A and B are shown apart, each in its own frame.
Chain A
Amino acid sequence: MKKILNTLAVLTLTTGMICCPSEAKAAKKDIVIGFVPMTMNNEYFITMVNGAKQKAKEMGVQLDVQAADQHASAAAQLTIVENMITAGVDGICIVPSSSEGLVSALERCKSANVPVINLDTKINESVLKEVGLDVPFFGTDNYAGAAAAGNYAVANFPKGTKTAILTGIEGQQNAADRRNGFYDTVKSKLNIVAEQSANWEVDQGYTATQNILSANPDLQLIFASNDGMAIGALRAVEEAELQDQVQIIGFDAISEALELVDRNEMLGTVAQYPAEMGILGVENVVNAINGKPVELSIDTGAKLITKKNVQQHKDYSKQFAD
């Protein structure tokens, strides 16, 4: 009896393994690229991966995508890189979970002679120096993206407009860049009356905005450092029935935010181009493998999306949607 159950459990396990859609192809293609986003549970990275998949298909190379299951962590990324090297990938594109956490992973790539391309979040120079590796970077300047939002605000709002900023997680570089990009552009023209961290979260954006509104009932503009917080802010503004008085600008151009811009419920959101990062990553890592020249640094750009260009951006995004 025990034996039967034993066999049964093992069979369950193996059928589970075989039935789930393993993307490994029986015939190994010439080139396999390992692609490591931070996670696979938000639209931004899914778009990036879809761009990479399309490019890989076009170039006739295989793309293996692996990410941490929920929280991006340096430990999970090191394990993934080790296993990809064991599986014999020829090159790796990676979005680091942190700018400083990849020392060990890069060393593995270096000793296995696997070229690496850094996407979206730049690896610190000190880390690259320590490892002794030149790694190309393709991504967006968060500071410049937020500055674009700031310039739009300065051009379209009267001097002294009462403005609030919602920031991301304290201590994160991209949170600081987005905050500073906006702040530095508007500080001499608009009147920043409040600044609070809402840790990138919708619910915290909502409560922070409630508090800001009760302290500043005459607020006119909110810059939220990501669309999640912007959506939370919008709920609080609607609840206070101040939609006509308070305008909101977000960041990331997630599909829900684009809809809100289209319906005039949000003033704008800063778009980055994750799909371009994925495309360029695959293209250049294949070049590196083939010994062809590789771009060392590409700014994939950021643009403020408003009612004027939202349809155009929605059409562009469609080709990388799931």
Chain B
Amino acid sequence: MKNAKNQGASKNIDIQSLSLYIGAILIFVVFTGLCSAFGKSFCTLGNMKNIINQSAVIAVIAIGQSIIILTGGIDLSVGSIVGFVGIFGGLLLKSGVPVTLVVLIVVVTGCLIGIINGVFVSYGKVPSFIVTLGSMQIVRGLTMVLNHGRPVSGFPSELRMIVNTKVMGIPISIIYVFLLYAIMITVMKKTRLGRWIYAIGGNANAAKLAGIKINKIEMIAYGFGGLFASIGGIFLLSRLAYADPNAGSGYELDAIAAVVIGGIALSGGKGNIGNTLVGALILGMLKCGLQILNVPVYFQTIIIGMTIIAAVFLDKAKERKAE
């Protein structure tokens, strides 16, 4: 029994958000305690900046992923788009195109890739999992073709400035992340487009009867997926000053993990985009804290996997109780 509840307004979302925040704070406190027990520092301003910086790429990609999952779909191609943006943008930069123009070109291209995904999903009626499974391979292949599988490096210093400048002492990448989230939270809460996206995911038939052009809205949602994946790709390119054709492999799964930890249901229609940021930060905190504690790498993946299941398990507690 799924009802297209309006986001934000309902009480149970608030409780859900609250338990997510409590969880995030608890993880933070646990790491602070564990790190100081081992004579290492976790809770420092510098490390907070580190965690947000390290999570920024996944956090941005996860905005688009949230929107698509809210419509009831999924996008597996975002990781490949990150790799594509690096090589394509990198080659443009090397051929002397100014940084600002490069950013514009790759973001538009990424958005177009998303829209093509969306056309096949919405008008073509092919399941999103299958469309994006295909485009994930196609885009990765294109990335290899572009530069014969080779990386690109040796960029002008302006590229590094995209994420490496500070505004009033705050790293600009952090400002970008919060700004992008603020914009999209507003779009999802205050505009018709946002409400329609929730409506499609909640109950597509009802949305259709209400006169919503569901195909068009769905297509736009996938456009957002490509748009935010390419912004994430620019972040990564700027952070590393190096483009690797394999970059972004597996990022689609990290983004999906951030979305589900943030409490958006894979069935769509319910959840809060802002919480995806908390989900991304929880993942970032775990990775950073476990590395500082020098936990062997494979145990890190086990703990992160446990966290994903635990988060959704808690989320479903209410439904279990109702039964």
Contact = CB atoms under 8 A, between A and B. Distances in A.
- B is a partner of A: yes
Interface of A: 1-2, 5-6, 9-10, 12-14, 16-18, 20-28, 40, 64-71, 73-75, 78-80, 82-84, 86-88, 97-98, 100-104, 124, 126-127, 130, 169-171
A201 B39 CA distance: 43
B46 interface: yes
Interface residues of B, number: 62
A13 B291 contact: no
A99 to B, nearest CB: 9
Interface of B: 15, 19, 22-23, 26-27, 30, 34, 37-42, 44, 46-47, 50, 53-54, 57, 148-151, 153-154, 236, 239-242, 244, 246-247, 249-250, 287-288, 290-303, 306-307, 310-311, 313-314, 317-318, 321
A78 B37 contact: no
B303 to A, nearest CB: 5
Contact of A14 (B19, B30, B291, B297): B30
Contact of A100 (B153, B250, B292): B153
Contacts, number: 169
A21 B296 CA distance: 8
Given A73-B246, A103-B240, A9 B153 contact: no
B303 A20 contact: yes
Given A64-B294, A86-B292, A127-B153, A17 B30 contact: yes
Nearest to B301: A69
Contacts of A83: 50, 287-288, 291-292
A75 B58 CA distance: 12
A20 B299 CA distance: 7
B-side binding surface: helix, strand, loop or mixed?
Answer: helix
A103 B241 contact: yes
A78 B235 CA distance: 14
Contacts of A104: 239-242
A2 B317 contact: yes
Contacts of A73: 244, 246-247, 249
A71 B23 contact: no
